[in-house]
Chains A and B, each alone.
Chain A
Amino acid sequence: MSDQNPQTALDRSDSRVRHDEGIAGAIRAFIDRVRSGDLGMLPVAVGLVLISVVFASLNPVFLAPNNLVNLLFDAAAVGCISLGVVCVLILGEIDLSVGSMSGLASALVGVIWANMGFPVLVAIAAALLAGAVMGMIYAMLLNKFGMPSFVSTLSGLLALLGMQLYILGPTGSINLSYNSALVKFGQILIMPHWLSYLLAILPGVVMVVLGLGTMRRRAEANLSSPGLSVLVAKAALLTVALLIAVFYLNRGRGVPYMFGVFVALVVGMNYMLTRTKWGRSMFAVGGNREAARRAGINVGRIRMTAFMLCSSLAALGGVFASARLATSSQQAGTGDVNLNAIAAAVIGGTSLFGGRGSAWSALLGILVIQAISNGLTLLNLSSSLRYMITGAVLAIAVIVDSLARQSRASHGRG
């Protein structure tokens, strides 16, 4: 330690490290990362802009405030499911039954609440519990028997669909009351303007406060920081973008509470994944399972939590979907729900190969998927074409993921 120049930060003492400081440095580091294949959120951001431009030029209604509000209402349900899918993808596993799980949850809510007359919260709790149990079963099949999640969840897809049809019985569809809080939450409840603006400013403020704290602690520990200018620029950019988005949405109906809940879940998951030991263990298991085990991580328990979270979030997505549609039907959770949820996670930048991903990918990915679906509906295209186009988008996303992975390997960034 004695030979160290007190002027040099602890992590900048090696002469081979470039000193990226200030905004220019941050931009240069970002370009370096992208060139080496560490794309992060870039493809999805570019995709979102492209999609908006194309659809807006084909039909101006696409960018109308109220259409975007509808889009956010629609995004919340599948977005929740996608958030769970991110968890299992980070482990390098997959859950193909999320669509059926959401359908079963929606059926449970219909039967327990609308038919049997229990309070709505009891019905929702039952749906979430069913999700947790299902996730536990998948994890046990994987931990005890080494059954690949691909197979166990594929059989789960069929079994859960069967259970959904069974509990719905011969009537097949249960209508939920339009006057109930649940359906209002799914269809019309909008944040008051003051709250939406407050929530738009909050992230930037939190970012600056936490960032200043980190900078102070890093300086005390003699570590370098990217600098105040970068922090303020990032926070300002984020705040302006959010304020514009909220202002635009408020010209229509406003920001749906349901979407707010979804974003809160994403923020919570992001914290769990990046700032806790659990999240670190998730990425470790996804990156190198044996190394994680030898480091003393209980791999079985990590898998258990991931699968339980995934199925529970799928169930919550099912509850949201039934609230959105005001019905629990045999069709809930079928069709493209499954694929959309998985596609959203991958399009958002979570790797199918494990060990790489972020909670934000669920949010950004579902916006892309929902924008495509919404735009194609506005163009009066049949569902046959919509399926084909969504399928192509998923294929492109996976190709981008694979190419980025190869590029990372050749640039030595794993």
Chain B
Amino acid sequence: MASSHISAEPILKLRGVSKQFGAVSALTDIDLDIHAGEVVALVGDNGAGKSTLVKVLAGVHQPTAGAIEFMGKPVDLDSPGKALEMGIATVFQDLALCENLDVVANLFLGHELNPWALDEVQMEVRAWTLLRELAARIPSVREPIASLSGGQRQTVAIARSLLLDPKIIMLDEPTAALGVAQTAEVLNLIERVRDRGHGVVLISHNMEDVRAVADRIVVLRLGRNNGVFTAETSNAELVAAITGATENAVSRRRARKDEQMEPQA
């Protein structure tokens, strides 16, 4: 672990952040610190509030209560543009790509080079360079996104988040649609981004991926903080924190399997 690089002061600091959708409290009193040079994994069951938290940090949703500090200053993330400008880049679960535009246009969307006479050549070269760094298998960057597979789209979305050299990059389920090699590439990439001194927030249901790269594992449950763990934490402990009970569906299943094994032994 590259824990030696981790900054003392967090880049991003959340205190008491809450988000309500009508009567539903999606997030309640969330505290979260993200330092430069560390990978924070955000785990939790479906509906735990992971994606909502990411959307709050990306400026897509505005929090109902709480304070967000970025680089030591209180900030108001009221639009996605503002979050991007500050250096918080996000790969959304639904990727948020424009299917009618080609790969280059999507990569540079909102940040085109030379706004009044688009520099297509330069943009295409940067697109190829970026995609190569990710070991992406994309045959042509001049095809519309609609013609790409799920994994290729995922790579384009990740490449786009790196384009602006952000301070923090948030990945919402980045490996869900990827093959074995691409998943490894994304994990390599996450480590490379971290080693460059960026903060990384990783959301994943895949405990193996999380353990492989995370410096800290933050567990959310029903919209609340439910403990901070490290990669050394045992699986049973993590699952207990995620589900909120030592006696849960996962442990019961494990116990049943063990019982079935015993008579044969």
Contact = CB atoms under 8 A, between A and B. Distances in A.
Interface in B167-214: none
A355 B102 CA distance: 12
Given A10-B125, A223-B124, A291 B118 contact: no
Interface string B117-141: 1101110110011001000011111
Nearest to B83: A296
A295 B85 contact: no
A131 B109 CA distance: 30
A221 B99 contact: no
Output the residue of A222, A284, A296, A355 with the most chain B CB within 10 A.
A296
B166 interface: no
A372 B128 CA distance: 48
A92 to B, nearest CB: 10
Contacts of B145: 414
Contacts of A17: 139-140
B84 interface: yes
Interface string A285-301: 01110111111111000
B110 A287 contact: no
Interface size for chain B: under 10, 10 to 19, 20 to 34, or 35 or more residues?
35 or more
A283 B81 contact: no
A223 B121 contact: yes
Given A11-B128, A11-B140, A414-B147, A294 B118 contact: no
Contacts of B111: 295-296
Contacts of B142: 11
Contacts of B45: none
Output the residue of B110, B146, B160 with the most chain A CB within 10 A.
B110
Interface in B140-155: 140-148
8 contacts: A11-B124, A217-B121, A218-B121, A221-B122, A276-B116, A287-B99, A295-B80, A296-B81
Shortest Cβ-Cβ A-B pairs, 9 listed: A414-B146, A296-B81, A287-B100, A277-B115, A295-B110, A414-B99, A291-B96, A296-B110, A355-B100
Interface of A: 1, 10-11, 14, 16-17, 214, 217-218, 221-223, 275-278, 280-281, 283-284, 286-288, 290-298, 355-356, 408-409, 411-414
